Amino acid sequence: MATLADGDESPPPYITGSHNEAEEVVQPVILILTGYFIRAQSADGTPLYELSRDVRHSSTSEAQLAQVSLGRLIHNVRVTANGTPRTSQRNRHIFELKHLPSVISTGYPYCLDSVSRSTVGNLALKSASFPRQGFKIVKIKPEKEDGFPKGYRARRESLKESELMFEILKKSGRYEWMSPEGNRIAVEDETEEDQARLIVTAPVTRKTMDAMIGSWCLRIWRDSIKSTNEPRSPLRSEVRSGREILPRFW
């Protein structure tokens, strides 16, 4: 728990506890990915989201199952009996970033598994349609498959794309984030210290911001995995069992 002394800057303004926070409007903000944290680019660098591992430097290979937890940090400010504001912080788990090898991915090797009712739901990363360069973030849902023999014990569901959430288009060497309506809502670049930065340029709801942050981290993780050439033993700690890591709707 952090205490703000007299004369210090105001408590973190961006995320506060609220019963209806999913539909709250978040104003434009600049975010920086530093290690395990996504922080506001401000004087105090307030941490807003937390990852369970650094997605920019992953050693996961494309043949491995892996996942990363993402939580939103909730800041609450209370005033003590003597009038001093005190800030507390808790981590609300919102998404699991998952990498599924081709043998089990059904076409979506990189996905976001929602673990909170306040999110937009389950999402997946896919390549943009030719000739565009970049990616799409789409909502996915299970779809039952027919035609299996009676008693067949294999998985009887596949994943179906339901609607577009974001387009992430590469223009002039950087990614621009577009809404389903075609409006630019964010731009990616890097700081002078080579830190990943997301510049949110339009107001969005809290749940849209959560989805954008999760998708941003998923894209960065995907690039990190793609650049990994050194295979590792499947017994290393980053890799978990298929039952643990498969999306919850399987």
User: How high is the pLDDT of residue 71?
Assistant: 97
Does residue 12 sit in helix, strand or coil?
Answer: coil
Reported as a single tens digit per residue, the pLDDT across 84-119 is: 887 778 899 999 999 998 878 778 899 999 999 999
Terminal-to-terminal C-alpha distance of the chain: 39
215 has pLDDT over 90: yes
Q: Does the reported pTM lie above 0.85?
A: no
- Beta-bridged to residue 200, according to DSSP, are 29, 186
Q: What is the sign, positive or negative, of the torsion defined by CA atoms of 160, 71, 167, 58?
A: negative
With a cut of 80, say whether residue 142 has pLDDT above it: no
Neighbours of 45 (CB within 10 A): 12
232 vs 212: CA distance, rounded Å: 30
Categorise residue 45: left if φ over 0, alpha if ψ from -120 to 50, beta otherwise. Answer: left
